[in-house]
Amino acid sequence: MEENKGISRLAALFSRKKRRAANWKKGKDSRRHSRIYVEFPVKLVGSSGLILTGNSVNISFGGALVIFDHIDPSEVDWEQDWSIRLHNRGLDNIPIGFDARVTGRLATGAIGIQYIDASYQDFAGYKEYLLEVCAEDQRELLLEELEEHEGVGEDFMSNFAGLPLGKIVQVIFNVKEKEIEQALEEQKRTRKKLGDILVKRQVISKQQLDACLALFQNIENTVFSHAFFVPLRNKKWVRYFQLAGEAFLFVLTTIMITHSAGLQESGLISLFLVSTALTSRLNGVLANTDAAGRQAADLLTMFLGMLSAYVIVAINISEQNFQDMFGFVLEVTKVENKTTIWNRNFGETGGYLLNNFFVLISVVLLTSMYRGFALLLTMTWNACNWGLALTLMVSQGISASPEHLSEATTVIISIIALTPHLALEAMSYIYGSLSAIGVSKSVLWHDFMSPRFKDDMTRHGKSLAIAVGFLLVGAYCEGFWVNYILSVFGKEPG
């Protein structure tokens, strides 16, 4: 199983690793949770690949008692990581899933399962099911449990909206206020992140920190924010695929929604909606690490996902819909019916550099004031303009290509020629935005010329210098590389 799953998870509600969840009301039998006796199919899947099937005996907010079919308990490694699938609505319906651990075995053969972690959606469904099947007298006890613990009330996310991280940790894990205060004092001295300090002090685990960060970061800006309750993966290429895929799907979904609604300039409206919808994921990316390089790489991946979506739109959209939805792109990029990849002027390096430099200044100014939203809007705007305009030029250029080049070859040559300067310019604007966001926060959060302020200014100044460097190389690529590739491959062989 993955070590770090917490970003949208409710590990805090079940974990006993470091400390108990706060103030659960005990039932009359002194158990931590009220038991509901109900039988339905259950699957227990181990990290070794072992799958056990059986039926529930009773369930609660904290776990389940299960009798499994045809097993010899002495031959099973109960210490491995487990996930439990509760088919409470029948085998034909999607089960409710929890990460779990085995806590004991009874002489009757029943196995005690404790829930460790669950998605918000799964826990909400489980809570609804418990309240649905319980007897009336048990329902009152369950509602008391929900009322007693802030983490499982009717509006779980809003209970923590706007709270500082220290308060969320305190509420979820019953951490003493004194421990939070001591960690805050260390943060002032060392200028490290509060969460890292709490983990180092063994107040909470890394997994528990991730669960708290999920609540701290994931404000529900839109219905789509629920999609970002899915954890951001740790493995680099898996995380890149996740970020690009999310951005790709959100762009296509938003364009379809605005177009179906019959809105005028629906393509332009979709830019703002996409930027708003992706804000929750951006917050997660920025909070995931302080390293500007990793942040920039993650954001570039999101940009490439957006760009790919607009390329797909340009390929499949009719000419009339293109004009109606994205007429502003043609005006901004000055692409006409006869403009192709072969006759577009890519040779003015100085002009491109001056234009892109002013764009970078504008981006820095906007993101210093509007921060993440301005960064996303910049990414979406560029992905839209570049994706649509360049795809249109390549498409129109296929018929104007030299005779020795097939359609597929023309597309490949265009990708080789155009991709480097697009990526370099995007990285320039991303680094510039990250620098501006950091400076904006430092000016407001830290004393002027304090050690922390100076460190931040140095770090963000380096990011701005990197942005300028990417801009210079990008302008060179746009002015030289594109023409070089097109001239080399466009020549007749021999």
Percent of the chain with pLDDT over 90: 20
pLDDT for the residue 154: 44
Pick from 129-133, 280-284, 317-321, 403-407 the range whose average pLDDT is largest: 317-321
CA-CA distance, 311 to 306, in Å (whole number)?
9
pLDDT for the residue 160: 55
Which pLDDT tens digit goes with each residue over 306-347? 999 999 999 999 888 888 899 888 888 888 888 888 888 776
pLDDT for the residue 461: 92
pLDDT for the residue 245: 92
Q: Is the pLDDT of residue 226 over 50?
A: yes
Q: Is the pLDDT of residue 465 over 90?
A: yes
Which pLDDT tens digit goes with each residue over 182-223? 998 888 888 788 888 988 888 887 767 776 776 665 555 555
Q: Is the pLDDT of residue 26 over 50?
A: no
Nearest residue to 303 via CA among 392, 371, 243: 243
Structure tokens at 121: 């959606």
Phi-psi region of 5 (alpha: psi -120 to 50; beta: other; left: phi over 0): alpha
Q: What's the CA angle centered on 440, arms 436 and 442, to 5 degrees?
A: 115
Domain boundaries, the chain: 24-148, 159-217, 223-490
pLDDT for the residue 34: 76
CA-CA distance, 405 to 156, in Å (whole number)?
59
pLDDT for the residue 10: 43
Among 2.60.40.10, 3.20.20.140, 2.40.10.220, 3.30.390.50, name the CATH number for the domain at 24-148. 2.40.10.220
DSSP for residue 260:
H
The mean pLDDT value of the chain amounts to 79
Distances (CA, A) of 253 to 159, 223, 256, 311, 314: 30, 13, 5, 14, 15
Which pLDDT tens digit goes with each residue over 30-51? 455 778 888 889 999 988 889 9
59 forms bridges with which residues in the sheet?
Answer: 36, 64
10 forms bridges with which residues in the sheet?
Answer: none
> Between 429 and 286, where is the model more confident?
429
Length of the chain: 494
pLDDT for the residue 441: 82
